[in-house]
């Protein structure tokens, strides 16, 4: 396996740095599929990650959500992914939380979860538009900076 903010009322700031080539955001369903052998996406998730040659980025909410869905014996693997720098973990600052609040209000009719809006914030912060997810419905609706669509890394 290879892998190497804004104030209230304003749009999120421009990316902090140019997005890394091959950078992909990682959503909950992908992590669950990777470790849960009974998940219908398990084989595709393992194959995708084995072939992936970029950097993976996520947020704490994704790890917490994945841990909830995984059996206790598999949760340690999530921490080891971050410890081994397979996944780069990002945390919002106060401006980031202001942006999360804006996104929660904006998508309130979709009942977004915390992990999803955190990934939108991360996409805006890093300038990364690709996301590895099995949540096609929601990430087809969400927009980066209110305009740009996510590029979905679909499991096949």
Comparing 56 with 20, the larger pLDDT belongs to: 56
Percent of residues, the chain, with pLDDT higher than 90: 80
DSSP state string for 44-80: HHHHHHHH--SEEEEEHHHHHHHHHHS-GGGHHHHHH
- Does the pLDDT of residue 13 top 70, yes or no? no
At 80 the pLDDT is 96
- DSSP annotation of 108: G
Output the six-digit token pair for 151.
């590029």
Cβ neighbours of 112 (radius 10 Å): 20
Compute the average pLDDT of residues 44-62. 94
At 156 the pLDDT is 63
- Domains in the chain, start-ordered, CATH in brackets? 23-153 (3.40.50.1010)
Cα distance between residue 72 and residue 144, in whole Å:
34
Angle between helix axes 114-126 and 94-106 (nearest 10 degrees) is: 120
- Does the pLDDT of residue 132 top 50, yes or no? yes
Instruction: Quote the mean pLDDT of the chain.
Output: 87
At 153 the pLDDT is 87
At 154 the pLDDT is 73
Output the six-digit token pair for 120.
């939108």
Cα distance between residue 97 and residue 53, in whole Å:
31
Comparing 15 with 134, the larger pLDDT belongs to: 134
Strand partners, 148: 144
Task: Quickly state the pLDDT bin for 145 (edges 50, 70, 90).
Answer: very high
Cβ 132 vs Cβ 106: under 8 Å: no
- Does the pLDDT of residue 14 top 60, yes or no? no
Compute the average pLDDT of residues 73-102. 96
Strands (E), 1-156: 23-26, 55-59, 87-90, 130-132, 143-144, 148-149, 151-153
At 100 the pLDDT is 98
């Amino acid at each position: 396996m290879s892998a190497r903010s804004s104030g209230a009322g304003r749009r999120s700031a421009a990316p902090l740095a140019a997005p890394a080539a091959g950078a992909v955001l990682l959503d909950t369903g992908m992590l669950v599929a990777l470790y849960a052998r009974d998940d219908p996406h398990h084989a595709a998730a393992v194959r995708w990650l084995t072939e992936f040659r970029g950097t993976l980025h996520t947020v704490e909410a994704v790890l917490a959500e994945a841990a909830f869905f995984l059996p206790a014996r598999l949760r340690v693997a999530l921490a080891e992914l971050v410890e081994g720098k397979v996944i780069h973990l990002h945390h919002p600052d106060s401006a980031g939380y202001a942006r999360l609040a804006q996104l929660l209000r904006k998508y309130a009719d979709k009942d977004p979860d915390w992990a999803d809006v955190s990934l939108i914030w991360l996409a805006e912060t890093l300038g990364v538009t690709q996301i590895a997810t099995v949540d096609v419905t929601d990430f087809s609706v969400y927009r980066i900076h209110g305009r740009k669509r996510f590029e979905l890394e679909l499991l096949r």
